[in-house]
Amino acid sequence: MMCRPRGRLYLEDHVTRPVTGDRVAFSLEKGQGWIHRIEPRHHVLQRRAPETGKVQILAANMDQILICMAAQDPPFRPGMVDRYLILCEASGIEPLLILNKSELLSPEELQTTLDPFRALGYRCLPISVYAKQGLEELRAELENKNSVLTGPSGVGKSSIVNFFEPALQLRTGEISAYTRKGKHTTTVSRLFPFLGGTLMDTPGIRELGLISVTAEELPRCFREMQPYLEMCRFRNCQHDAEPHCAVKEAVEAGEIQRRRYESYLQLRAEIIEETDPYASSS
Ligand code: GDP
Ligand code: ZN
């Protein structure tokens, strides 16, 4: 049943539109559904629209974001994980890093791959749909929760969904399919009933726009940097070329992973490039 808003809908005094995951009060009249009210939202997944720079709410009331990666094929790229983590940190939604195809790595290699993320306090779960490993642990993480499923294509997202809910019968590669209409990228997302909760399918990170944060907001999205941010000599320190930067000192002291710091610099450069092509340092 399609429901339409009856008149304007307000949330905290703002006019708003229903988004994926909203809980609403509605009624049925003569075969038509009418939305009367949107319940207060917790945990909104948002992005900054690359076209307008405006913040868009993509989904509400999500308990966790499943960042799905493959141990191999496509190769595991930690910098890619960082991009998804930023999205989670910016939205304040807890991530769960799922490493599928883990049968392709030795236990030692798995540990080397995941330990740097575990050290940051992120939950990580190696699984294999093929070898039926880790799937019961994963089920326990998914049951009765509202989860956002994201990750690059080819890592096994559709295979995971089909394993738990065979009735959905997704074609492999179907999750994260998106459509392009002219120059505008439509952020198609779907919500499935899933293991007693819901599963939201998202477009890939490119479509979400890495740039869900500004260069100023970026340091906060690297959670291990947070304790140092107030300790730099310059209050507006960008933790880049400035002297007496507490973040850089923490990198030198081995308290912040160098790879993560380099990832920060890289993403910062990308954000600056994207938001102001003339401001990039040469
Ligand atoms: P999606 O694009 O993320 O939805 O990925 P798919 O579910 O379409 O899977 C991509 C490919 O990886 C398919 O050929 C799957 O058969 C394969 N695949 C899925 N799970 C595993 C696994 O645990 N191990 C290996 N080696 N391949 C897998
Ligand atoms: Zn600094």
Write out pLDDT tens, residues 240-258: 999 999 999 999 999 999 9
Query: Which pLDDT score is estimated for 247?
Result: 98
Q: Report which bound ligand comes closest to the CA of 98.
A: 1
Q: Is the CB of 215 under 6 A from ligand 1?
A: no
Of all protein residues, the one whose alpha carbon is nearest to atom 27 of ligand 1 is 101
For ligand 1, pick from 76, 105, 172 the residue to mutate: most ligand atoms within 8 Å of CB. 172
Q: Which of 96, 167, 150, 153 is nearest to 127 (CA)?
A: 96
Q: Does 138 score more than 90 pLDDT?
A: yes
CB 245 within 8 A of CB 237: yes
Question: Over the stretch 32-63, which tens digit does the pLDDT of each residue have?
Answer: 889 988 888 888 887 776 667 777 788 888 99
CB 230 within 8 A of CB 280: no
Q: What is the whole-number distance in angstroms between the Cα of residue 48 and the centre of ligand 1?
A: 30
Which atom of ligand 1 has the smallest separation from the CA of 127?
A: 23
Query: Which pLDDT score is estimated for 59?
Result: 84
CA gap 267, 275 in Å, rounded:
12
CA gap 135, 114 in Å, rounded:
17
Question: Over the stretch 80-101, which tens digit does the pLDDT of each residue have?
Answer: 999 999 989 988 899 999 999 9
Q: What is the mean predicted confidence (pLDDT) over 218-232?
A: 96
Which atom of ligand 1 has the smallest separation from the CA of 175?
A: 4
3-state SS of 128-175? ECCCCECHHHHHHHHCCCEEEEECCCCCCHHHHHHHHCHHHCCCCCCC
Q: Is the CB of 275 under 6 A from ligand 1?
A: no
pTM reported for the whole predicted model: 0.87
Residue with tokens 């076209």: 51
CA gap 73, 267 in Å, rounded:
24
CB-count burial class (<10 Å; 0-12, 13-18, 19+) for 12: exposed
Vertex 132, ends 126 and 135: CA angle to 5°? Answer: 55
Q: Which of 222, 229, 206 is nearest to 265 (CA)?
A: 222
**Which residues line ion ligand 2, judged by CB < 5 Å?**
232, 237, 239, 245, 247
